[in-house]
Structure 1
């Protein structure tokens, strides 16, 4: 028995667009199956007396489309094995947005079923004709299901298919709004090319889910645009701009920079971001995060120019690290709270080192603390790492005693007239002991000192304001008066 499935396309819906070859196959087939009866061509099949069986009942039996398509594929393979050659007719073109055909291509060979696919007019043919754009200008086809803003490229015509209902249109609208302005004109096409049913509606993006008539033959077209504002919202444009700045035709200053020459900028921009966080200033935070991102782009561009890596390699490495170190999110592990999540993170970091072939016997507990971190932050991280292996005070009282001991040694060094280096050493020991106290009360020493710095700045500004109000300068006052205003500032 000939075990085969012939898949053919029913076209976009207009009977005049059905190919003669496919029409002959339908008329001569002993067994015709259609994915859905909800297609304009079904009327012609009934009028011509062509018997068919649809799989529409499966849509009622399953929770999502993937399960429906898997069930259709299962039945087609069984039917081909039992009934011999069958014809399976699908809307449009079999190779355009037709999941069941892709599954048949994967499974028929293993099942001993011969698979033949013939074409058909897809909804794209009508989209190009009825909407009037040439795909050679740049074109992408997206499925409305699971769309992401990262897929969007404003310089390409974008056709979004499978927009079955208003809820789907609403999801598409929200994704598009991440890149396009709310009033950007988009086009909704219903039953393109089908006489008496076609509708082409031009609407602003924010009204996309207010349009009526969404169904199996609906699509959304987002016309391409060279608007600089749209392009400037894409990462690709940022990469392009930085490349131009560093090129021979770019900026002389940018061309001359090296990793070392802009090293300090990375630190400065980081602290400017921290300042906006401390000030709870999202407007300036947006700008400062951009300045910090520029530093990442410049360093990556320098390496791209010599062929070491590109910023896309940086992104890939980061993505892979995030996926690997979060097995409780992207893998089969679980984490009920932040503590368990951190434990997973550390476990995966250790596994990474093993995969890289690092000699675990030569690895220090203190490895991983950046050499050039600010002093307080570095002390805090070193102490935390040492504490994990038990090298720590038993309680806060031991820390207090250590602080008193180091403070006494500092005073003694000053009183004895010890050398400058010796006094600096004793001061460092005291600061290191104070960081231990910060760790024991679960406080970040850098943050604690930053708060005090802000408090000092605010109170000192108050002294300056009072002096100005009283028509005085610092030369015209004394410490007693400044202390009075300092105390007043504390009670504002």
Structure 2
């Protein structure tokens, strides 16, 4: 058996908060360690003649707080192992041991493994003083955040928010930037130093933008952000967006939105997708932001319709995507690391196959062409069909075979036209030619949809160039012959090369 370890909370800073029972326990202890000497109660302990050691030196030796906390816990565990049975080691921490005290969590876990007897004695935490000195009731909704790990995603304006561990101005600056993702720059916040400590307490009411200009940050500092019901503070919240769509579809909402069905807005989903693609092609981030929002609305509307039927909600959609991304990326979230993008893609395909097995779909039951949406644009669908066929070995060995196939299909189309075959027969021959051309795109490593989009944009530029030249002469296409139009076309091409 090893020594026992007792953790004592020194309170939020006022020496009067240290109970006689805890002081007696420390006087009886064989050894006392402090996480830090930087606490008002330490002077009282020294006046009592207690032999105290601190771990302040660990803060100087380590590069990060997690390393500091692990080292302190390790040193205490070693001391408990080496000490004789019956020895009591006291570890004293600021505030309450179970509030924002990372070393205690580590010790709880490790003492259980090492079979070291652990006792935790509370002390008044900084939360008790915050509730009193800042004057709010946590029952209204309250969250406690760590300044070292705060992010916009953790902020909920409807809750009273206390941010602890604001050790210095640099940390306050990081907190300010995170808060500004949600709150206006002039939002009213409160900074508290040494709350409840006589002669040391300071409370500052400042606009958010001045948060890192307040002086005096240290171990006993915190930031308080008052709760606010204003929905404008939740404009960047997905939950609020979900609420808005729910309201639009409610009996009190928009009559048009209420009447819509999956089929009635199906075309909107397609149109919004293509509008997003257009912004990508135009490299227009501002327009892209707007169009992505329009596309997201369509997704939310379809999910809302199913939520009203009780089948699933948009949060079920998010959960499914979350699980799929984790499952299909074992090289990121697991131990199988991918060396390059090609290997990552192989991992993705393997996990897709594994998903099918888990759903009861065996390899022999599924077609190699499964998984391609029925209503994809034809050019895109042809490309995906050929890629899937290629994976099972149905493909040419090299691009020369593709070129031969294109020439063969072109000859058959020419023959169909010359022989005045039916429109359907000519249409099929044209389709064969296009399908063969898609293979060429795949062999040179490009998407045929993107290639044709580039050509479409090139055609538009050149055609608009011709229109502009004719307009300068107060003419239209009907006023120019083919030779003139060809000259303008060539001039447009030359203009592009100069640009």
- TM-score for both structures, normalised by structure 2: 0.90
1:190 lines up with 2:200 in the alignment? no
Q: Is the 8 A contact 2:80 2:89 kept in 1?
A: no
Q: Is the 8 A contact 1:73 1:100 kept in 2?
A: no
Q: Which runs of 5+ in 1 are unaligned?
A: none
Instruction: Indicate how the Cα distance of structure 1 residues 243 and 26 shifts in structure 2: closer, same or farther if over 3 A, else same.
Output: same
1:49 lines up with 2:49 in the alignment? yes
1:408 counterpart residue number: 411
Deviation at 1:142, TM superposition (A): 0.8
Counterpart Cα distance in 2 of 1:323 and 1:185: 40
1:368 lines up with 2:371 in the alignment? yes
The one of 388, 392, 405 equivalent to 2:391 is 388
1:18 lines up with 2:18 in the alignment? yes
1:35 counterpart residue number: 35
Deviation at 1:30, TM superposition (A): 5.3
Q: Is the 8 A contact 1:81 1:113 kept in 2?
A: no
Q: Is the 8 A contact 1:58 1:71 kept in 2?
A: no
Deviation at 1:6, TM superposition (A): 4.0
2:241 counterpart residue number: 238
1:338 counterpart residue number: 341
- TM-score for both structures, normalised by structure 1: 0.91
CA offsets per residue over residues 231-280 of structure 1, 9 Å max, x none?
A: 11111110110111111111111111111211111111111011111111
CA offsets per residue over residues 370-423 of structure 1, 9 Å max, x none?
A: 221111111111111222232212222211111111011111112222222111
Q: Matched residue of 1:159: which SS? A: strand
Counterpart Cα distance in 2 of 1:308 and 1:68: 50
Q: Is the 8 A contact 2:182 2:234 kept in 1?
A: no
Q: Is the 8 A contact 1:73 1:103 kept in 2?
A: no
Q: Is the 8 A contact 2:2 2:80 kept in 1?
A: no
Counterpart Cα distance in 1 of 2:115 and 2:479: 100
Instruction: Indicate how the Cα distance of structure 1 residues 194 and 364 shifts in structure 2: closer, same or farther if over 3 A, else same.
Output: same
2:229 counterpart residue number: 226
1:92 counterpart residue number: 95
Q: Is the 8 A contact 1:11 1:123 kept in 2?
A: yes
Q: Which runs of 5+ in 2 are unaligned?
A: none
Worse overlay, 208-217 or 263-272: 208-217
Q: Is the 8 A contact 2:12 2:196 kept in 1?
A: yes
Q: Is the 8 A contact 2:55 2:72 kept in 1?
A: no
The one of 422, 425, 428 equivalent to 1:425 is 428
Counterpart Cα distance in 1 of 2:84 and 2:230: 55
1:9 lines up with 2:28 in the alignment? no
CA offsets per residue over residues 307-346 of structure 1, 9 Å max, x none?
A: 2221111112212222222222221122232222222222
Matches within 5 A, 1:121-270: 121-270=124-273
Counterpart Cα distance in 2 of 1:236 and 1:77: 48
Q: Matched residue of 1:192: which SS? A: coil
Aligned length: 492
Counterpart Cα distance in 2 of 1:381 and 1:233: 36
Counterpart Cα distance in 2 of 1:394 and 1:275: 35
Deviation at 1:132, TM superposition (A): 3.1
Counterpart Cα distance in 2 of 1:374 and 1:289: 20
Q: Is the 8 A contact 1:160 1:219 kept in 2?
A: yes
Worse overlay, 85-94 or 53-62: 53-62
Counterpart Cα distance in 2 of 1:147 and 1:187: 17
Counterpart Cα distance in 2 of 1:281 and 1:343: 33
Counterpart Cα distance in 1 of 2:74 and 2:30: 22
Matches within 5 A, 1:424-443: 424-443=427-446
Instruction: Indicate how the Cα distance of structure 1 residues 194 and 58 shifts in structure 2: closer, same or farther if over 3 A, else same.
Output: same
Deviation at 1:129, TM superposition (A): 2.5
1:322 counterpart residue number: 325
Counterpart Cα distance in 2 of 1:61 and 1:306: 59
The one of 455, 458, 463 equivalent to 1:455 is 458
Deviation at 1:108, TM superposition (A): 4.3
Deviation at 1:355, TM superposition (A): 2.5
Q: Matched residue of 2:200: which SS? A: coil
Worse overlay, 142-151 or 295-304: 142-151
